[in-house]
Each structure stands twice: as structure tokens, then as C-alpha cells.
Structure 1
Amino acid sequence: MSAAPTEVSVRPSRWGLLAAFALLVATTQVLWLTFAPVTVESARALGGSEGLVGDLAVVNPLLFVVLALPAGRFVDRSLHPTLTAGALFTAAGALVRLVDPGSYGWQLTGQLLASVAQPLVLTATTTLAARAFPARERTTAIAVGSAAQFVGVLGGALGGAPLVAAGGLPLLLRVHAGLAVLAAVGVVAMLRVAVLAPVGTRDAHGLRWLRHEPLLWRLAGLLLVGVGVFNALATWLDPVMAGLGHPGTGGPLIAVTTLAGIVGAALLPGPVAARRRRRRFLVAATGCTAAVFVLLVVANTPVVAGVLLALLGFVLLAGLPVALEWSEAHVGVARSGTATAFLLLAGNLGGVLLVLLVQPFVDAPRVALVVIALAALPGAAVALSLPRREEAG
């Protein structure tokens, strides 16, 4: 077990740092999804195919898989310079895309820079909370940082089309660049004034210790399933609902799911951790996931689907901060960045795998829903294997 940091010096600047960090986290998701909701318009503006435009979003999860664990190690060793680098890469990626809004090469270069930034930023979620906040506020800080990911996903998905309609791709890129610069300046400025507790003992064992942490492997299995289910839902819900006779409802239903998830991710982790109900919550969340998709097979009118998916989002997306908080409490601050990287890596991998698993069944929408329900069952088994006695620290 890694040593804890010395006592955090409680200052108001910690909330300013958290706000700036949350904005930066959300911005990384917005930049990732810049072209996804406006693929056709982007292909026309860039003079390329829709497949090439889709690749602009694919580079992000691919680089995350490669860079997550090194980024986590950097966070554990040097949080301040690592997070600063993440902020600067985020701004640079957004600004590079403005060099020539009609050039695919410049857009790809910008996406690559932003993709390098994302693991440097996201893997700092638990470490920042542990080093800037006292124990009683740590879960709240982790929840805010995690919920910011979903805020960014929602903003990126919903904001693209109106901006392109108002001013084409150049306006979209300018707005995103402004957001990125604002977030980067905020984080860099707040890192200069906020007080971060030093880490008592640095971890000097590389990644070998991960092999002997069954709790982390089980939490990783849960996020592999949970993030996979959400990504499969976001990717295929529109054609699935169209196949069930409800065309055009997929987008609004995904928005409902994500909004409910933002609320759940912000509100649930604190009470769950305070009452030591992490295992019970994760078991309930995985069971709810399977049940919702089974019910959608037989009851899928837009209103019913909206209620079911709101419930799903509320508990499913809250699983991310619950798992991250549990990992930090278990491994300690000196290894928290690496632990977070490991869990987020598993989630990204699950996002790719479940999207591919469901793809062959999209033309048979009820079968696709059953496949997602079945995919949730291993998650329930993993949740049941979590330790009943939770030990923080």
C-alpha cells in the first residue's frame, strides 16, 4: 500500500482548481467529438470521405489505449507539470485546427495533439482530488471530475450541428478553440495558486504491483462492461430505435441518458462511499443494466424507453466515479494516477469491443438489445465478486 499524502492545506483555491479542471476534462471530450455529429458537413468542407472524417474521432481512443498507463505514471510522479502539459496540448490541438479549417491534414494534426492531451488530463482525476482536497471532500471532487466527462460528451454531441448551421465548420472550430484556450489558461493559472499536498512516499515499483491488485482488476472488468454498454448504446441506439418503428428518437434518448448520468455521477458517489456501499451499488447498477435492456425488447415506445434509459444513465454512469474513488482509497495517492489510468484504459477497451460485438445485430434490433443485456451479465458476476468488507486506505 502506498503512503498517503501529508495533510491537505484547505484553501478556497481548491474549488477554483476543480472548476478549471472540470472544464478542461469536458473540453477534451468536446474536441474528441468535434466532427462526429456533423460528419456529412465535415466531409464536404474538408473534401474527403465520411470514413476519413470518422477517423478523426477514432484516433482518440486508439491513442488513449497506448498512452494511458504512461500518463498515469507521469501523474503519480509529477502532477503539476503533467497536468500543465495536458492543458497546453489541449489548447494546441484546438488552435492548430484553425490554421486551415478546410484542410484534412491540419484537422488530423489537431486531433492527434488533443488525443495526446486526453490521458494526461483524465488520469489526474483522482490524484488531483487526493492532493487538493481533504478526505471529507475527496469523493465530491472525484465525482465532479468524472461527471465533467459526460458533460463534455453531451456538449460535443449536441453543440456541433447548431454551430455548423450558423457558420459552417470554421465557426465550430473557433468556438472549440476558444473553449480549449479558456480551460487551459484556467488550469495553468489555478495550479500556480492552489496548494497541493506533497506525496509522502513515491512509488518506485513501476507497473508490477498492478498484477497483485485483484480489486483493481475487478473494477477494471466492471468499467470494461459499463463503458462498453454506454458506447454501444450511444453508437447503435438510433438505428435500433428506427428498426423498432421509432425513427429519429435515438439522439434525444441518448441525450436523456447522458443528462441523467451527469446527475447520477455528481450526486451518488458521495453517499455511496460515506455509507460503505460501493459493492452493493455496483451490483445494483450492473443488474439494472441487464434488466433495462431486457425490458426495452418488449417495451420500447419513446416515452417508456426514455424513462428506462434515464434510470440506466443515472446509475450506470455513476459507476465510473464510484470505481475511481474506491481505487484511490485502496491504493493511496502515490499510485492513484496509475490506478485511474488502468481503469480508464479498461473502459476504453470495453467501449470498442461492445460496439463491435453489437454491430452485426443492428439490423435485428431486438436481438441487438438482448446482446447488450447479455453483455452486462459478466459485469454482474464481477460486481458480486467484489469484497464485502470495504477498507478505505
Structure 2
Amino acid sequence: MGEKIVSSSPTEYKTTKFRFVELILFMFIGLMNQVIWVSFSPIVVESKAFYGVSEFWIVFLAASYMVAYIPVNFPACWMIDKYGLKWGVGVGVILTGLFGLIRGIFAANFVIVVISQIMCAIGQPFLLNSFTKLASTWFPEKEKATASGLGTIATLIGAIVAMLVPGMLGEGFDIGKLLLWYGIISFVSMGLFLIFAKEKPEFAPNPYADKTKALATKGTKDLFKIKDFNLLLLMLFFGLGAFNAITTKIDLIFDPTWDSGLIGGFMIIGGIFGAIILSGISDAKHKRKIFINIAMMSAVPLCILLAIINTFWIVCAIGFIFGFLLVSCLPVGLTYAAEITYPAPEETSNGLLMVLGQIGGLLLLIVPVDFLMYVVAGLFLIGGILSFLIEDTDVHEKRRLQ
């Protein structure tokens, strides 16, 4: 593959075109892991009838991802730090590919479906915690948030596939065949990753990749000494928690006569556009704080509007704006965290933020559906206030050089 010299301060760093192949391999398996997560959320009613179980067990299939993330996060961070991008992340890749296929083959057996779903959920932290490390290891400074944003887009595409496909198949579709196809594609994506993915490029592409990182254990302890990282933890607790809870319960939040999968699809499509556009602007301007401010504060009125508007297509439009502004904040926030906590491993800061989001999502699942959007709006208001208290990346960089 061709190489390109990238100037960054007095030092020159090299990039390779294979970085895009590497990113696609990570995106493909990350996408399928999210398909498996969300696959039952837009078809709660149909799944209850298919398996003959209560609503609780169908919601649990999605909630298991949030439950599993909490204990698995730190072992996943340690393994990624110790064994690297190919074999550390490879644990999650294998769990997703293998148990995604098993879930599809035995789709009619609810016990096997639950076990397989949990095993795929265990694989999720290995995948989601890897995108900022991938960006710092393979991409130049001006592309890091964009690369993380593309990783986020992959997970969003996975969610939108799971949201929209059942509606496209029409009434009476075969849930078993749908899960089998998801499993086959997951298995193929696992094979492609294991064959083609590489650990790291021959040359460092940016100054963050060019330094020796702190050990994960030391890095974790030191992270909590950074005020802005602690504030960011709270904001992700609110923001990612809200997105996880809304995604999990979307079939129960809105009018039962509406196509909830389509509403979720508009939210996620908005998130895809936002992750591309706003992450790119964030990289170009090397600014993070303003995008976090906008996401937190805009979510307050948008959540209230989603709760009170009774027109389907207006709700879809608001959902698109909600996704555009909120979901795009995730890659910017994760990149910001990696920058202000350097030299701690990216997967450590990434993992802590993600696990707080999972805890937030689980707690919000307890909130009655009728009040969920109002509670979320209140949490975003608190998050918005906190977002004005953080300092941008350049302030942290200047302080580190002093």
C-alpha cells in the first residue's frame, strides 16, 4: 500500500492507505455486533408471540448488552492493551461471529438464543473500546475524530439495519430466518477480520501513536485526577445512557400504531450524518467542547418534543435532528477523552466512558415509559450545564507541555 508523509509539529509521521482497510474490517464486525444487540427491540410484540415469553424476557435480550458491559469492560481494556488491536479485539470478534451464527441456527430455541445473545454482549466491549485506539494507532492527527466517527457510524448502521429490516419484510416474516441471516453475515465478518486485520502500521502516523503508553492499571487510577474527564463521565452517563434506554424501549415509548423501527431509523440516520459532518468539522478546527455543548443543550427541548408531539412524521423529523446532534457527540467525546487523558491507553478512557453509559441506560430502563423522555430531558439539562465547565483540548495540551 502507498505511504504518505504527514507533518505534525517538528516531527514527520507516515500514514499508509491500509488504514482504511483496517477501519472497514473493524466497522464490519462492529456493525454486526450492534445488529445482534438491537434485533429484538423493534419487534417486541412479534417476539413475545414467537417464543411464548413475557415482555420482560424480550427486553432483557437487548438489556443484556448493558448488563454484560459493566463487568467485562475492564478485562476487555486490559486484553486490548496487552494483546493489541488484532488479538485483544479478536476476542470480541470471535464471540460475535461464532455465537451470532449459533443464535441463528438455533433461533427457535429461546434458551440458546438468550445464551448466544449474552455471549455476543460479552464481545461488545472488545469492539466498542477499540475505535479510539484504532484511530490513534493508524490515523494522522487530523483524521482521528473522523476515524472514530466512522467507527460509531458502523455501530449506528448496525442499529438501523435491525430497526428497519423487520418493517421492510412486512407482517408475518420468519424471525428464525432473519436471525440466521444475521448470524451468517456475522460469521463472514469474523473471518474477514481474522484473515486481514493487522496489529499496527510500520510507522507511527501521529504523535499520540509515537509514544509509550501508561499501563492500563496506572492509567485508570490517574484518569480520575483529571477534572474534565470526571465531568465527561457524567455527561456520557446521561447521554449514552439515554440513547441506550430509548433504543431498547423504542417499541414501547411511542404510539403502538406507529412504526417505531422507522422512528429509530430516522434517529440513527441523523446520527450517521452528524458523525460524518460534525466529527469532520471537529477535526478540522481541532475543537471538541463546542460540539459537546451543542449536543447536551439541544437534547433538552428535543426530548420534550418527542414526548408531546402526536404526529408521526414530525416525530420522525425531530428524531433525525436528535440523532444528528446527540449521537455525533459520541466520537467527538471519546476522542476528547483520549486527548485529555494521554498517555493513558485509549481503550481505558474509552471503556470507562462506555461503561458509565451502559449503567445509565440500565437505570433509565427502570423509569416508567410515560415519564422516560421527561427524565432524560432533565438529565441532559444537568449534562449541558456541566459541558460548559470543561476546557478544550488545546488548553490541556498547553498545560501538558509546561
Q: How does 1:204-243 map to 2 (within 5 A)?
A: 204=215, 206=217, 207-235=220-248, 241-242=254-255
Match of 1:310 among 288, 304, 320: 320
For the pair 1:174 / 2:180, whether they are aligned, the reply is yes
Give the counterpart letter for 1:267 in structure 2.
Answer: I
Equivalent residue number for residue 135 of structure 1: 141
Matched position secondary structure for 1:212: coil
Identify the range of structure 1 (339-348 vs 286-295) with the bigger mean alpha-carbon deviation.
286-295
Structure 1 residues 255-310: Cα deviation after superposition (integer angstroms, max 9, x where no partner) = 21211111101221121243243212211221111122344566553344333332
Equivalent residue number for residue 265 of structure 2: 255
Structure 1 residues 48-106: Cα deviation after superposition (integer angstroms, max 9, x where no partner) = 44433332222221011111122122222222211122211111111222453321222
Structure 1 residues 301-332: Cα deviation after superposition (integer angstroms, max 9, x where no partner) = 33443333322211111110010111122223
User: How much is the aligned-residue C-alpha RMSD, in angstroms?
Assistant: 2.8
Equivalent residue number for residue 125 of structure 1: 131
Contact 2:212 2:343 in 1 (8 A): no
For the pair 1:331 / 2:336, whether they are aligned, the reply is no
- Aligned equivalents of 2:74 and 2:167: distance in 1? 34
- Aligned equivalents of 2:24 and 2:307: distance in 1? 40
Structure 1 residues 35, 313: closer, same or farther in 2, change over 3 A?
Answer: closer
* Cα displacement (A) at 1:154: 1.1
Structure 1 residues 359-385: Cα deviation after superposition (integer angstroms, max 9, x where no partner) = 1x61xxxx6544332221111111011
Contact 1:14 1:194 in 2 (8 A): no
Match of 2:106 among 90, 100, 106: 100
Equivalent residue number for residue 3 of structure 2: none
For the pair 1:12 / 2:12, whether they are aligned, the reply is no
- Aligned equivalents of 1:36 and 1:297: distance in 2? 19
Give the counterpart letter for 2:291 in structure 1.
Answer: F
Query: Runs of 4 or more off by more than 6 Å in structure 1?
Result: none
Structure 1 residues 192-224: Cα deviation after superposition (integer angstroms, max 9, x where no partner) = 486265764242361322321222221111111
Normalised to the residue count of structure 2, the TM-score between the two structures is 0.85
* Cα displacement (A) at 1:240: 5.0
Equivalent residue number for residue 70 of structure 1: 75
Match of 1:287 among 278, 283, 297: 297
Match of 1:59 among 44, 55, 64: 64
Unaligned ranges ≥5, structure 1 = 1-5
Of all paired residues, the percent bearing the same amino acid is 24
- Aligned equivalents of 1:336 and 1:200: distance in 2? 13
Give the counterpart letter for 1:387 in structure 2.
Answer: E
Structure 1 residues 168, 203: closer, same or farther in 2, change over 3 A?
Answer: same
Matched position secondary structure for 1:201: coil
Contact 2:42 2:260 in 1 (8 A): no
- Aligned equivalents of 1:90 and 1:205: distance in 2? 25
Normalised to the residue count of structure 1, the TM-score between the two structures is 0.86
Identify the range of structure 1 (8-17 vs 179-188) with the bigger mean alpha-carbon deviation.
8-17
Identify the structure with bigger relative contact order (alpha carbons < 8 Å, sequence gap 6+).
1
- Aligned equivalents of 2:186 and 2:308: distance in 1? 44
Aligned residue-pair number:
379
Equivalent residue number for residue 382 of structure 2: 378
